[in-house]
Amino acid sequence: MAPRCMLVTLLGAPNVGKSTLLNRMVGAKVSIVTPKVQTTRSRIAGIGLFGETQLVFFDTPGIFKPKKRMQRAMVEAAWSCAHQSDKVVLIIDSCAGLTSDTCRVIGKLQRAHFSVTAVLNKIDLIQRPKLLKLISNLDDEQLFQDIFMISALNGDGVKDFLEKLKTEAPLGPWLYPEDQVSDIPLRMFASEMTREKLFLQLQNELPYSSNVLTEQWREQKDGSVRIDQVIFVERQSQKVIVVGKNGERVKSIGTAARRELESFLERRVHLFLHVKVRHDWSERPEHYHDLGLDFNA
Ligand code: GDP
Ligand code: MG
């Protein structure tokens, strides 16, 4: 059989389950997942090989009305990714239904003439009648080639969806080696792991006021790796929270991130976290370049 390859962009409002679905389809955790909106800040590729077909999925930041510079860059990254792919998949949280964010994305997709498949996610949480009503509302939009119902969390329906994508993939060479699961650089992957733990362990607005950069990645003689990261926050009061009493919070974040890095890298990791106050980090280009975002979006 000849090789096939297709680029698929996963679009949708924040928190609908894009990253969860990506990880499930690829069979590895390449994109971080938290219950908070706007966790994913940049385009992340997850690569899956299904027989002779390579499907390259792009997880994107959720689409919403941006207010700040970083949000603008995030939303812009999602759309520019859609324009560069063969296929767009709109993920909808079936419980939340047609929210204003989702409707805005649908409107923009209609104007852009993409070939779009809708995926209704979180069906483990919804009653059948409500789901059917949602499907009929989506049909009325006359935008979708097909509509799938899935649970990214428990995997229901994901196989059928993948089968369909496989049939749509055009003939062509694979873009990545067969054992590659993501295109994000390891340094960024490491920053993302720590950022996920920040999102999971800190409350309210704090995760949004923070960012993580990997400053050093040093291979050690004994086969382990030493990683030094800086957690940037905007205010001294935030630093106090991130560090925690006797440094306990930052230690717990570091331990959780290190464990996951070790299992992903399959080697020992020494992770050093430094917390720095930089009130304008989100106005500095280096925080965009590392994430592949356009500072001037
Ligand atoms: P994203 O912002 O669209 O990337 O969404 P995430 O993948 O980060 O998921 C947001 C939240 O929804 C997380 O707490 C997930 O565990 C949860 N979630 C994702 N998919 C499902 C699903 O199929 N069922 C349920 N019950 N929760 C889900
Ligand atoms: Mg995400």
pLDDT score, position 37:
87
Last residue of some domain: 113, 137, 168?
A: 168
pLDDT score, position 43:
87
Do 206 and 107 lie in a common domain?
Answer: no
Do 158 and 218 lie in a common domain?
Answer: no
Is residue 151 within 6 Å of ligand 1 at its C-beta?
A: yes
Ligand nearest to the CA of 101: 1
Which pLDDT band holds residue 42 (cuts at 50, 70, 90)?
Answer: confident
Distance in angstroms (rounded) separating the CA atoms of residues 240 and 231: 12
Note down the domain range covering 69.
Answer: 4-168
Residue 259 lies in a domain: yes
Atom of ligand 1 nearest to the CA of 125: 26
Residue 180 lies in a domain: no
Do 23 and 102 lie in a common domain?
Answer: yes
Domain tally for the chain? 2
Residue 231 lies in a domain: yes
Do 19 and 164 lie in a common domain?
Answer: yes
Tell me the per-residue pLDDT of 238-259, one tens digit each, with 9 for 90 and over. Answer: 999 999 999 999 999 999 999 9
Arithmetic mean of pLDDT over the chain: 94
Is residue 60 within 6 Å of ligand 1 at its C-beta?
A: no
Is pLDDT at 101 greater than 90 in this prediction?
yes
Residue 266 lies in a domain: yes
Is pLDDT at 205 greater than 90 in this prediction?
no
Is pLDDT at 185 greater than 90 in this prediction?
no
Residue 176 lies in a domain: no
State pTM to two decimals. Answer: 0.91
Atom of ligand 1 nearest to the CA of 38: 2
Do 164 and 274 lie in a common domain?
Answer: no
Q: For the stretch 257-268, what's the b/e string if a residue is b when 16 or more beta carbons lie within 10 angstroms of its beta carbon? A: bbebbbebeeee
Is residue 33 within 6 Å of ligand 1 at its C-beta?
A: yes
Average pLDDT over residues 180-206: 91
Structure tokens at 239: 């630093």
Do 110 and 231 lie in a common domain?
Answer: no
pLDDT score, position 235:
96
Ligand nearest to the CA of 155: 1
Is pLDDT at 234 greater than 90 in this prediction?
yes
Residue 179 lies in a domain: no
Q: Phi and psi at residue 125, in whole multiples of 5°? A: -110, 0
Is residue 122 within 6 Å of ligand 1 at its C-beta?
A: yes
Which CATH number fits the domain that encloses residue 210? 3.30.300.20
Residue 296 lies in a domain: no
Do 159 and 192 lie in a common domain?
Answer: no
Residue 103 lies in a domain: yes
